[in-house]
Each structure stands twice: as C-alpha cells, then as structure tokens.
Structure 1
C-alpha cells in the first residue's frame, strides 16, 4: 500500500503541558482515516503540525514522501485542508471566493469553480454573498475550497460541525465517492462518531495528546457492538490507567 501521510515520533508540547506526544501513524492511499478524541486531546494541534502551521518539538511528518519541515511546498502541493474553521470573504459571493483561490492554480480550468460548488451543494447560490449564508453553508464553501485544486490528500478539522443532517449526509457521500472513484485520501477529525462509523475505513483515538488506538475500523467493531462502544472502552481504559498512575505516585 502506498503511504500518503506518515508521522514518526511527532511531539509538540505547550507551556501548559498540553500538546501531542510521540505520535506514530501512517495513512495510506485511498484511506478515509477518522481521528477521534475528547475536547483538548490534541486533535487540532496534530493537524497544525501535519500542515506546517506549527513546528513540532520532535519528530517528523512526511506527505507523499516529502518532509513537511524541510520540503513544505512539495509536501503540500497535492493537499487540501480545513483547519478549525474555513474562512471566506463575507462581502463576496461564493463564486468570487473560489475565483480568488483559482488565481493560485493557473493550470486549473475556471470551470472547476462550478464543479466544486455543485459537489458541495452550493451551485444554486453561487452568486449570493457569503454574509447571507448559514454556518452550514459556509462549511460547504470551505469544503469546496479545499477540493478545488484536485487534491490527493484532504485534511479536515471538524468539517460538519455546523451542518444539518442533510449536509452531513452529503459530506459523507462526497468523501466516499472521491475515495472510491479517484483514490483521494482523507484525514478527518470529527466528533460525529456515527457519521464516521458509516464512512471511515481506518480509525485513530487520541487521548491526552497520545494515540491510544489505531487500526482498521472493521477490526475495532468486530469485538464491539459499535465504534462508539470501542471508543468509550478505550477512553475509560486510558482514564483508568491515569488514575492508577496518580495513586502510585501518591
């Protein structure tokens, strides 16, 4: 299997002691990888380290074989992403926002704008100003922007956080279609575990900055009624180990 994203000993620690610690993880071509974890577990820090938005204290990130810290442009050349929230110019229309983005990709036809707007379910409102959009529609626009450049790896941080049920279903269908038909690889952080269960083939669980479980979603669910059951079992186990360590240190 072709490696698309690889982390080796990835560590980023902040002054408050939080961060990510010694993350070893590989994501393969065509994977839909879902990352879960409680609030404050380090998910966004991990995404920022992957995309070069923060420098790790230790370890390496390789995307398509290029080390992000040393070959940033090459590493990110085929990557689309949404980190935390997708930003757009609210005084401009959806079409104009993507027109701005298209200037960075002169080799891509302008017809791609309508393609991704249709894919994201925004073609009918492409000439409306973004300030009139709901939060869910803005998330759809951010997704369209992330997909504009025909990326081979798409990294998304809470992409459905503001979407309604229809939006989440549309998102799931888009991801599954691109992964199956175009072998696009997805790395997604999302709290909607039921949606991820329907979509992801590989799963990772982050707790207190550490990757406490990772592997095929099918393997995780074989011994459990659902992915939710597996997730809660792993979190309880990690919390129990913390309690034991605290008791021993007392």
Structure 2
C-alpha cells in the first residue's frame, strides 16, 4: 500500500506541559483515517504541528514522500485542509469566496467552482452572502474550499462539529464517495465516535497527547461490540481506573 502520510516521533510540548508526545502513525492512499479523542487531548495540536502551523520540538512528518519541515511546498502541494474553523469572507457570496480561492490555482478551470458547490450541497445558495449562512452551511463552504484543488490528501479538523444530522450524513457520503471513486485520502479528527465508526476504515485514539492505539475499524469491531466499547476499554487500560469506565458503560445502557 502506498503511504500518503507518515509521522514518526512527533512531539510538541507547551509551557503547561500539555501537547502531543511521540506520535507515530501511517496513513495510506484511499484511507479515511479518523483521529478520535475527547476535546482537549491534542487533536488540533497534532494537525497544526504536522502541517507546520506549529513548530515541532522533535519528530518527522512526510506527505507523498516529502519532508514537511524541509520541503514544505512540495509536501503540501496535493493537500487540502480545514483546521479549527474554515475562514470565509462573510460580505461575499459563496461563489465569490471560491472565486478568491481559484486565484491560487490558475490551472484549474473556473467550472470547478460550481462542481464543488454542488458536491457539498450549496449550489442553490451560491449567490447568497455568507453572513446569512448557518454554521453548518459555513462548514460546507469550508469543505468546498478544501476540495477545490482536487487534493489527494484532505485534512479536516472537527469538520462536523456544527452540522445537524442531515449535514453529517451528507458529509459522510461525500467523503466515502471521494475515497472510493477517486482514491482521495482523508485524515479527519473528531470527538463523535459513532460518526467515525460509520465513515472511517482506520482509526487512531488520542488520549492525553499520546496515540494510545490505532488499527482497522473492521478488525476492531470484530473483536468488540462497537468503537465506543473499544475506546472505553483502551482508556481503562491506560488509566487503570475501572470505576469511571464502568460508570460510563452503565449510563449508556
């Protein structure tokens, strides 16, 4: 299998001693890799560090065989991202926002604007100003921006956090379709474990800044009733604190 993203020993420590520590993982062509963990465990820090928005203390990151820290432009050439919150010009329409984006990609025909707006379900709103959009619609526009250049790797940080159920389902279908039809690779962080179970073929669990486990979703579910049960068992293993995990299991029942 072709490696699209490889991370070795990546560490970023903040002054409060939080951050990410010794992260090692590989993502392969066509994967939908889900980085799962509660809020505050370091998911955004990992994404920012591996895309060089934060300086790493140590470690290596390569995309498509290029070192992100030494060959940044080459490494990111085929990458689309939404990190934290998608940025748009609220006084412009959705179409005008993507016109701005298109200026960075002169080799891509302008017809791509309508293509991605249709893909994310915003075509009928393309001439409306973004200031009137709901938070979920803004997330759809951010996704359209990330997909505009036909990237081979798409990195999405909590992309469905402000979407309703219909939006989540649409998003899931878009991701699975692009992975299946175009072999687009996705690296998606989220704290919605049930969405991860439905969408991803691989998953990694981040806890307290450390990647405590990773693997194929199908294999994990074969050995466990669900990703949720697997997650709880892994947290119990790491923490050695059975009482809290038992409480969560009883609550969910």
Q: TM (normalized to structure 2)?
A: 0.94
Equivalent in the alignment of 1:246? none
Equivalent in the alignment of 2:177? 177
Equivalent in the alignment of 1:119? 119
For 2:25, what is the secondary structure of its paired residue?
strand
Structure 2 residue 52 is matched with structure 1 residue 52: yes
**Contact 2:39/2:191 (<8 A) preserved:** no
User: 1:51 deviation in Å?
Assistant: 1.1
> How many Å separate the matches in 1 of 2:95 and 2:229?
42
- Structure 2, unmatched stretches of 5+, are 242-253
User: 1:8 deviation in Å?
Assistant: 0.5
Matches within 5 A, 1:148-187: 148-187=148-187
Matches within 5 A, 1:1-250: 1-240=1-240
> How many Å separate the matches in 2 of 1:202 and 1:115?
28
> How many Å separate the matches in 2 of 1:159 and 1:191?
10
User: 1:238 deviation in Å?
Assistant: 1.5
> How many Å separate the matches in 2 of 1:50 and 1:93?
32
> How many Å separate the matches in 1 of 2:64 and 2:92?
34
**Contact 2:48/2:83 (<8 A) preserved:** yes
For 2:10, what is the secondary structure of its paired residue?
strand
> How many Å separate the matches in 2 of 1:154 and 1:44?
15
> How many Å separate the matches in 2 of 1:151 and 1:107?
14
User: 1:112 deviation in Å?
Assistant: 0.3
User: 1:236 deviation in Å?
Assistant: 2.0
> How many Å separate the matches in 1 of 2:19 and 2:35?
15
User: 1:83 deviation in Å?
Assistant: 0.3
Q: TM (normalized to structure 1)?
A: 0.95
> How many Å separate the matches in 2 of 1:39 and 1:158?
10
Regions of 4+ moved over 6 Å: none
How many aligned positions are there?
A: 243
